[in-house]
Structure 1
Amino acid sequence: MQSMRFLALPLAVLATAGLTVIATAPSQASAPAAAARQAALPHGYQLVKLPNANVPNFQRRTLYCPAGKKVIGGGAEARGNRAILVGSFPTDDGRGWIGLGRQDGNSTVGISVFAICAI
């Protein structure tokens, strides 16, 4: 039987290492703590979503940020039986995000796209 060991690291260390950090806040967070979290976001931060839709295999689904904003991150998801995400990347002009995929044994695949936008 294998044993697993966990090392407790401060969240700041994990975030600096490029890892996604998900932290939960107490249900009664103070106003200063909430203001500090908001101040940590990039100016004009907005999460934009393109809901799941079935498209032909390998067809790109493109999501653009609202006017005046650029994409600073994003992702995509392929849904379906044996669905495979083939690509997830920013548009050439930096204003949006592209997702594409395929599904074995089917001519369509469900693709959702997400973009993190800021000014």
Structure 2
Amino acid sequence: MHLKRLWAPSLAVAACGALAAALVAAVPQAAGARAAAPADIPGYQIVKLPNANVPNFTRRTVRCPAGKRAIGGGAEAQGADAILVGSFPTDDGTGWIGLGRQNRYGDVGISVYVICAS
């Protein structure tokens, strides 16, 4: 059971990546069209909130610079038996929130990043 719990997040991420690749491949594109690269997205920037230990279930929030909006993001829970509980955009769309917990400890390491654009 413990081994399944350790591998489940990795399998879910791999499955989501494979699904996204299949969806992108299935979308017809005009001749000569290409996917947008970071350089093609006005104001593209990744902002990271480095790992810090916080009490279990404490939200950590990273924000885009003024004038930019979140177009994606993510979070990572670090530590023995760490579990990422949530990773989602802020209500106003200018940042990203991450939170987690550890079963055996009262605090957890959380890092959060947001992908921003103008």
TM over 0.5, shorter chain? yes
Q: CA deviation at 1:38?
A: 5.5
Q: Which amino acid is the alignment partner of residue 54 of structure 2? A: V
Paired position in structure 1 for 2:87: 88
Q: CA deviation at 1:17?
A: 1.6
Paired position in structure 1 for 2:58: 59
Paired position in structure 2 for 1:17: 23
The structure-2 alpha-carbon separation of the partners of 1:38 and 1:98, relative to structure 1 and needing over 3 Å to count, comes to: closer
Q: Which amino acid is the alignment partner of residue 48 of structure 1? A: V
Deviation per residue, 1:33-92 (Å, 9 max, x gap): xxx9554x3110001000000000000000000000000000000000000000000000
Q: CA deviation at 1:101?
A: 0.2
Q: Give 1 or 2 for the bigger CA radius of gyration.
A: 1
> What SS does the corresponding residue of 1:62 show, helix, strand or coil?
strand
Query: What's the TM-score, normalizing by structure 2?
Result: 0.69
CA distance in 2, matches of 1:107, 1:88: 20
Q: Which amino acid is the alignment partner of residue 109 of structure 1? A: V
Moved >6 Å (runs of 4+): none
Paired position in structure 2 for 1:46: 45
Q: Which runs of 5+ in 1 are unaligned?
A: 1-13, 20-35
CA distance in 2, matches of 1:86, 1:38: 28
Q: CA RMSD in A?
A: 2.0
Query: What's the TM-score, normalizing by structure 1?
Result: 0.69
| Percentage of pairs with the same residue | 69
